[in-house]
Structure 1
Amino acid sequence: METKEILTQVEQTWTLYRLENDQGMSVNFLNYGGIITDISVPDNDGQIENVVLRFKNYEDYISNPVFFGALVGRVAGRIKEASFYLNGQTYQLGKNERSHHLHGGQEGFHSRVWNVTPYENEQEIGAKLSLSSPAGDGGYPGNVEVEVTYILTNDNRFIIDYKAETDEVTPLTLTNHAYFNLSGGAKRTIDNHVCLIDSTKIAELDEELIPTGEWLDVNNTPFDFQNKKELKNVFTNETTQQKVASGGMDHYFKFNGEKESAIHLEDPESGRTLDVTTDQPGVVIYTSNSLPEGIKLLEGEARRHVGICLETQSSPASLHEKGFPDVLLSPENPYHKRTVFSFGKRR
């Protein structure tokens, strides 16, 4: 496994790790935030290109307002009013999006230096990333030990395996916030990407992107991806929920569990495909509807609909509403979830 030291302007030294398989596919990530900076895979012509968004300058990962490629926790998603009630006590968390708590707060897992232990065998190459989160961290109860394993197999599967244990009941749901663009080098937007999502229900959002507690049926709406269709169908068809998300998707989809892949994505021009399988109950689909202006990517400036996030997770709405996938972790039931990203070529 290759490594490279990265010296930032704030006098932090990070390590960049590179996983590469026998097919030429590779994954680069930092010990800072577990941030994935590169996933390079071949297209139909064998050209290997990066298919995730990345900053031009490593220092930009320090603020990282859009969570490019980062491990997110303790709780992925938005917690309403940055607070929750648990076992007779109200817990107040840091506010980092209006009056709400987003993706673990300003100092969440995306901003920590993780311990990394690489490994390799005949079938795969990988690395175990570990982190200790003490009681009171970010306002959350319980001492939590987290282990995330990045695995690259020789059949072009990138696997993220999440584990966590606690000594006290506490909210926890982990995800990775990579932005995918299968065109390679972000040369095109995701408008013409073809998508399938094994879901008939999305969580309705209010004007501040907080779930209202209601589920909406996607049948015969722009959010219906039960059959393959281009993502631009949701970008160009204005609905109340599309407008709430600034002209795209930023919604929790509850999986049906009826299809082999929970999510299928393909770029017709390059021929690259991505199939996602997971034991998570749902996914937040975010289509980079409102990236801040001026963000410098290695491949140019960020623009609208330049990437899609596939944030497999439970729902923090369960802390305030009934009927949502639970995010509570207990000492008796350790957290163990897995998401598999299988890259291929369109036949």
Structure 2
Amino acid sequence: MIRQNKFIGNLLIAISVCFLFQCKKDTKSSLNLKDDALKNHAMTISKSKYGTTPSGISVDCFTLKNKNGVEVEIINYGGIVKSIKVPNKKGTIENVVLGYDSLSQYINGDSFLGATIGRFGNRIANGKFTLDGKEYTLALNNAPNSLHGGDKGFDNVIWKATTKSDENSVSLVLNYLSVDMEEGFPGNLNTTVTFTLNSDNALDILYEANTDKKTIINLTNHSYFNLSGNFKNDILDHKLQIRADKIVPVNKNLIPTGELVSVENTPFDFRSFKIIGADIDADNQQIKFGFGYDHCWVLKNQNDDVRLIAEAYHEESGRVLEVFSDEPGVQFYTGNHLNGTHGKRTGFCLETQHYPDSPNQVNFPSVVLDVGETYSSRTAYKFSVK
């Protein structure tokens, strides 16, 4: 069964301590910096109207700011991270995630920019899975597969929003009830996603959910990062390290073969820092299937602890992105199909998650959530310069 969160408390634990000693499941609710020297600096969160859906529902934009000038904008349509503004090594603050200017672009877009993804992130083969002997059928929105929750995934719904803050962090709490059989998934799934910005320039995302009927779940965030700032360049010159020895190979439809294969002597070896563009067009069957990188890496140290799983660096700006998570995998996608407001390979995703098509792969970690269990998953994106 999918892991359960032992408790969600109000205890704040330093993000630095968590990353040194690896947070256990009991401490997943607290990746916030606790530093007496920062207590007097303001953390703010504000709300403004962002737009109105075609059906007349108002959508709000929430702006989270810390004392370092870091600013995160999130809208309650799709739980979308609209922008993350962080300084470069010269102190210039710029946006480092791809986004749109208008709500209509998010509604009509098909690239999942910044979106909260659910009920099931990544692909499910042929839009079908079997649970307790019953077959469920999903929308084939990425034919011949179901992708990122279907036609009305979590990226296409309005979330109920509340806020909270203290001297060291500000949080946006989003809640959505996905009703039984919505997009073909069983169970009334009550989901809460908490975005927390702290004084250490980390955006922490905590996913929690429970159900009244056995179901499957795999939540993630689909932000596209570009550390050059304001998308001045593509992402091919970024350096990346992923703490993984294996990947999940796929067939031509990007469905796992069921194997886990070594990255050694392949274009997928990011165990040491490597420029993203170095092997992105290599003469390799897996690269050809994804038109570049669009694969899941099998992360090390899979014991439900939050640990450093990937790091990206842009030399010209000096910006560093560290990704921490308790998930077993990360989907590294290089924007190979972007062709609209943002062009091809202008952003990369590090989508922390369980493996693709897990409901149909008996040897993959379970994505089943049962009645009485609490789904809990945590990822933090930490920004710095060097």
If the TM-score is normalised by the length of the shorter chain, which range does it land in?
A: over 0.9
Mapping for residues 103-252 of structure 1, pairs under 5 Å: 103-246=148-291, 248-252=292-296
Counterpart in the other structure of 1:337: 377
Query: Which residue matches 2:65?
Result: 20
Aligned residue type for 1:35: I
Taking the aligned partners of 2:114 and 2:208, their CA distance within structure 1 comes to 19
Greater mean deviation of Cα atoms: 38-47 or 235-244: 235-244
CA distance in 2, matches of 1:249, 1:58: 29
Aligned counterparts of 1:201 and 1:324: Cα–Cα separation in 2: 13
- Identity over the aligned pairs, expressed in percent? 37
Whole-Å Cα distance in 1 between the matches of residues 363 and 246 of structure 2? 12
Cα deviation for residue 47 of structure 1 reads 0.3
1:266-345 aligned within 5 A: 266-291=313-338, 293=339, 295-296=340-341, 302-345=342-385
Contact 2:116–2:155 (8 Å) recurs in 1: yes
- Opposite residue 190 of structure 1, the aligned amino acid is I
Q: Deviation per CA, 1:68-113: give whole Å up to 9, x if none.
A: 0000000000000001011111001111011211000010110010
1:6 Cα deviation (Å)? 2.1
Could you tell me which amino acid in structure 1 is paired with residue 71 of structure 2?
S
Q: Secondary structure in 2 aligned to 1:81?
A: helix
TM normalised by structure 1 equals 0.95
CA deviations 1:96-148 (Å, max 9, x no partner) are 01121100001011001000101110110011100101111111111111000
What secondary structure is seen at the aligned counterpart in 1 of 2:270?
coil
Contact 1:316 1:326 in 2 (8 A): no
1:331 positional shift: 1.7
Displacement of 1:327: 1.1
Matches of 2:211 and 2:124, distance apart in 1 = 20
- Higher mean C-alpha deviation, range 22-31 or range 7-16: 7-16
Change (3 A) 1:109 1:332: same
Match of residue 29 from structure 1: 74
Match of 1:299 in 2: none
CA shift for structure 1 position 205: 1.0
Cα offset, 1:233, TM superposition: 1.6
TM-superposed deviation, 1:234: 2.4
Equivalent residues of 2:281, 2:287 under 8 A apart: no
Q: 2-side partners of 1:6 and 1:161: how far apart?
A: 24
State the shift of 1:260 in Å: 5.3
Residues 270-311 of structure 1 show CA distances to partners (whole Å, capped at 9, x for unaligned) of 0000001111111111100112x3x22xxxxx2221101111
- Give CA deviations for 1:203-246 in whole Å, capped at 9, x if unaligned: 11111111111222101111000001100122142211111111
Distance 1:13 1:337 in 2: 29
Q: Secondary structure at the match of 1:336?
A: strand
**What amino acid is aligned across from residue 252 of structure 1 in structure 2?**
C
Structure 2 unaligned segments of length 5 or more: list them: 1-44
> Hey, what does 1:98 align to over in structure 2?
143
Distance 2:276 2:163 in 1: 37
| Post-superposition offset of 1:332 | 3.4
How far apart are the structure 1 equivalents of 2:102 and 2:192?
28
CA distance in 2: counterparts of 1:164 and 1:220, whole angstroms: 40
Query: 1:304 corresponds to which letter in structure 2?
Result: K
Contact residue 195 and residue 205 of structure 2 kept, 8 A: yes
Equivalent pairs counted in the alignment come to 338
CA shift for structure 1 position 9:
6.5
Looking at structure 1, the residues matched to 190 and 294 of structure 2 have their Cα atoms a distance apart, in angstroms, of: 29
Q: Say which of 255, 258, 282 aligns to 2:299.
A: 255
Deviation at 1:325, TM superposition (A): 2.2
Measure, in 2, the Cα distance between the counterparts of 1:310 and 1:152.
19
Moved over 3 A (4+): none
| Superposed counterparts of 1:58-73, under 5 Å | 58-73=103-118
Kept after mapping to 1: 8 A contact 2:241/2:273: yes
Structure 1 vs Structure 2 CA RMSD: 1.4
- Contact 1:193–1:268 (CA<8 Å) still a contact in 2? yes
Q: Distance in 2 between matches of 1:81 and 1:283?
A: 22
2:105 partner amino acid: D
- TM-superposed CA distance for 1:188, in Å, is 0.5
Q: What is the SS of the residue equivalent to 1:261?
A: strand
**Cα shift at 1:316:** 4.0
Q: CA, structure 1 residues 260+7, in 2 after alignment: closer, same or farther (shift >3 Å)?
A: closer
